[in-house]
């Protein structure tokens, strides 16, 4: 597919800024709000920042990332020069939808955030967190005791979820990973894989003594009482990958890394 109007977004790092200067003359770059697609220079963190900006500004554009960070799981390999435009025309689109989080604090205030990778609940003090877990309004775990719990999308399943011993999900699985973080009880529960149409609710038990924070990708809210989560398909985004380097291929490859 040919994208006629392109925006160029670069992280503030020296490497990304040098790459932006190298690509400056490749086309007549436009502002994001005028673009058909965006080229993102940086690492996974900057890619997530960019995607969140698009969600918040209701400017959902296909995004093609070039890795100038560390891991670059959401990015393509960076090469110098204007061959970028040919690569874009051959890129494979992958649709991803974020989690919508609605959290209620202990004081009764409600906040809403989006998460592309995962939403995690974490204990704030030395006290073990105790959390009730419901799926589709049915209590499944009456009391999870541990450091916390997270819900990850397929895109985020190789990030914090994987470090917490959660499963890696193929991108087209239409599943979510529900994973405990350092669980103490129930001892044998290692998490669950849920259909992505599921509605998940976390209720913090004894929040005064055992305060819990919630983190949606890069946004944190402390002293929460309840968190409700579900996929928001109205905010579907498109990631563009070079043939042979698609995200689902990388998810499979990650499971054989050692």
Residues annotated as catalytic are 44
Length, in residues, of the chain: 258
The DSSP H or E segment spanning 47 is helix 44-57
Residues in a beta bridge with 132: 203
114 is in an annotated binding site: no
103 is in an annotated binding site: no
147 is in an annotated binding site: yes
Which position has the token pair 């061959």? 83
10 is in an annotated binding site: no
Residues in a beta bridge with 202: 133, 227
**Phi, psi torsion values for 21, nearest 5 degrees:** -65, -40
161 is in an annotated binding site: yes
Contacts of residue 256, Cβ cutoff 8 Å, sequence gap at least 6:
none
3 is in an annotated binding site: no
Contacts of residue 255, Cβ cutoff 8 Å, sequence gap at least 6:
168
Give the 3-state secondary structure of 200-227. Answer: EEEEECCCCCCCEEEEECCEEECCEEEE
76 is in an annotated binding site: no
45 is in an annotated binding site: yes
CA distance 25 to 140: 56
Residues in a beta bridge with 134: 139, 201
217 is in an annotated binding site: no
160 is in an annotated binding site: yes
Point out the annotated binding site. 44-45, 117-118, 147, 155, 158-163
Point out the annotated binding site for NAD(+). 44-45, 117-118, 147, 155, 158-163
């Amino acid at each position: 597919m040919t994208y006629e109007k392109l925006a160029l977004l670069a992280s503030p790092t020296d490497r990304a800024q040098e790459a932006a200067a190298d690509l400056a003359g490749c086309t007549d770059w436009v502002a994001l709000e005028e673009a058909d697609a965006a080229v993102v220079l940086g690492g996974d963190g900057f890619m997530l920042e960019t995607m969140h900006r698009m969600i918040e500004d209701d400017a959902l554009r296909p995004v093609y990332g070039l890795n100038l960070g560390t891991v670059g799981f959401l990015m393509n390999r960076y090469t110098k020069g204007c061959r970028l435009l040919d690569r874009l025309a051959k890129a494979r689109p992958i649709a991803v939808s974020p989690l919508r989080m609605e959290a209620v604090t202990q004081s009764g205030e409600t906040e809403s955030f989006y998460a592309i990778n995962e939403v995690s609940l974490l204990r704030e003090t030395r006290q073990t967190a105790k959390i009730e877990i419901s799926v589709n309004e049915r209590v499944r775990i009456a009391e999870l005791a541990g450091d916390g719990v997270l819900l990850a999308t397929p895109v985020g399943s190789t990030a914090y979820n994987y470090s917490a011993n959660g499963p890696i999900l193929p991108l087209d699985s239409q599943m979510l990973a529900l994973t405990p973080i350092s669980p103490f009880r129930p001892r044998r529960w290692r998490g669950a894989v849920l259909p992505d149409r599921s509605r998940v609710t976390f209720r913090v038990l004894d929040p005064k003594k055992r305060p819990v924070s919630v983190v949606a990708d890069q946004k944190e809210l402390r002293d929460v009482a309840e968190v409700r989560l579900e996929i928001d398909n109205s905010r579907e985004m498109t990631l563009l990958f070079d043939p042979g380097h698609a995200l689902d291929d990388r998810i499979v490859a990650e499971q054989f890394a050692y």
